[in-house]
Amino acid sequence: MNVNKVISYAESPAWLGSAAETIQPAVLKAFESGGAPGQIIKNFLHGTWLGHPLHPLLTDIPVGAYTTTAVMDIMELCGNENLKSGADASLAIGLVGAAGSAVTGITDWTGTSGQNRRIGLMHATMNIGATLLNTASLILRRKKSNRNVAIGLSLAAYGVTTLAAYLGGHLVYGEHMGVDHTAEGRPYPLKFTYVYTDADLKAGKMVCAKAGKIPVLLARQSGKLYAIAHTCSHLGGPLSEGELMDNACVKCPWHGSVFSLEDGSVIDGPATEHQPKFETRVRNGNIQVKLAQSEIIKRLDTEDQTS
């Protein structure tokens, strides 16, 4: 299979761009109109409380249930009619799971742009189509005379779901959506390493510095010096180009994720993974950092480095 052709076809319809430009701001505005409760709901749907995107967990429910239905339906077509009720029940479970998957999916989709936003919308459109087919199938299953038509609809929906899942997989494995972008393939410093001249970091400012090959966000606020990973864990945005907030937090310039400078924790999504935190010290006018002790057990990409 030519992956590039499949992805090209998926994002090529002209309506995707204009539809995305209309739908995405509307969804974000709906959350914003809810004020603080709206943000809490948005964070919950992203999975910030879980430290992992919630959407992939919920997609297992409809995919698993639809697969079970397909297997039972095929067995029924082959002459085994003892599994009718099981097929119908698993189809109903799949539809319930699809609702949760859709709500979390569209929430995560609000944190996308460009090609990913178009592919994500096609992914959602295909899943909506599959849901409509499965809903019709579940209704038709109530009458014995419609049974074969109902099975045909659900098998067609399963094919559409499979294609949608392929696009979802591409967004994760090909475009690295939903993965931790701070998981650098480069070593984090375990010993204090020079990153910046202390006099050059003014109060109320933040900069991107380098600890070896690792980009570090340095910030100074209210007399305190902070250091966390510079690359946003959500989609790799440059935090130093974002907003230094009054409450020792930083907002990513790309999709608005907010992180605490104190410990790197996620305050507001769409990010779900925290930012690695560094310990800081000033020696001879130089700022030095090393990975915080609490982070070491969480990461494998570390190695001893001389200061």
List, for residues 208-263, the tens digit of each pLDDT value: 999 988 999 999 999 999 999 999 999 999 999 999 998 999 999 999 999 999 99
- % of residues, the chain, pLDDT over 90: 80
Three-state DSSP state, 272: coil
Distance CA 70, CA 120 (A): 25
The pLDDT confidence band at residue 297, using thresholds 50, 70 and 90, is: low
Q: What is the mean pLDDT of residues 90-104?
A: 97
Half-sphere exposure of 198 (CA within 13 A, CB side): 13
Considering the chain, what is the average pLDDT of its residues?
A: 91
Residue 158 reports pLDDT greater than 90 = yes
Contact 65, 90 (CB under 8 A): yes
Q: Which pLDDT score, from 0 to 100, does residue 5 have?
A: 73
Distance CA 258, CA 242 (A): 10
Residue 112 reports pLDDT greater than 60 = yes
List, for residues 258-277, the tens digit of each pLDDT value: 999 999 999 999 999 999 99
Q: Which pLDDT score, from 0 to 100, does residue 136 have?
A: 98
The helix-helix angle for 147-169 and 55-77 (nearest 10°) equals 150
Nearest to 81 by CA among 144, 140, 137: 144
Residue 180 reports pLDDT greater than 90 = no
Bridge partners of 287, per DSSP, are 196, 282
List, for residues 18-27, the tens digit of each pLDDT value: 999 999 999 9
Q: Which pLDDT score, from 0 to 100, does residue 9 have?
A: 75
Higher pLDDT, 276 or 183: 276
Residue 200 reports pLDDT greater than 90 = yes
Nearest to 109 by CA among 125, 94, 91, 85: 125
The pLDDT confidence band at residue 293, using thresholds 50, 70 and 90, is: confident
Q: Which pLDDT score, from 0 to 100, does residue 141 have?
A: 95
Contact 257, 271 (CB under 8 A): yes
Residue 185 reports pLDDT greater than 70 = no
Cis peptide before 270 (omega within 30 of 0): yes
List, for residues 43-74, the tens digit of each pLDDT value: 999 999 998 899 999 999 999 999 999 999 99
Residue 3 reports pLDDT greater than 70 = no
Contact 194, 167 (CB under 8 A): no
Distance CA 218, CA 205 (A): 8
Torsion of CA 246, 252, 258, 261, to 10 degrees: -60
Furthest CA-CA distance within the chain: 85
**HEC states along 228-242?**
EECECCCCCCEHHHC
Q: Which pLDDT score, from 0 to 100, does residue 303 have?
A: 47
Contact 159, 67 (CB under 8 A): no
Residue 306 reports pLDDT greater than 50 = no
Higher pLDDT, 212 or 200: 200
CA distances from 216 to 44, 196, 243 (A): 28, 10, 16
Provide the token pair at 224: 């305190």
Runs of H (alpha helix) within the chain: 3-11, 15-33, 35-46, 55-77, 84-109, 114-140, 147-169, 293-296
Strands 302-303 and 188-189: parallel
**34: Cβ contacts below 8 Å, ≥ 6 apart:** 41
Q: What is the mean pLDDT of residues 189-201?
A: 95
Distance CA 185, CA 195 (A): 19
The pLDDT confidence band at residue 302, using thresholds 50, 70 and 90, is: very low
The pLDDT confidence band at residue 1, using thresholds 50, 70 and 90, is: low
> pTM (2 decimals)?
0.80
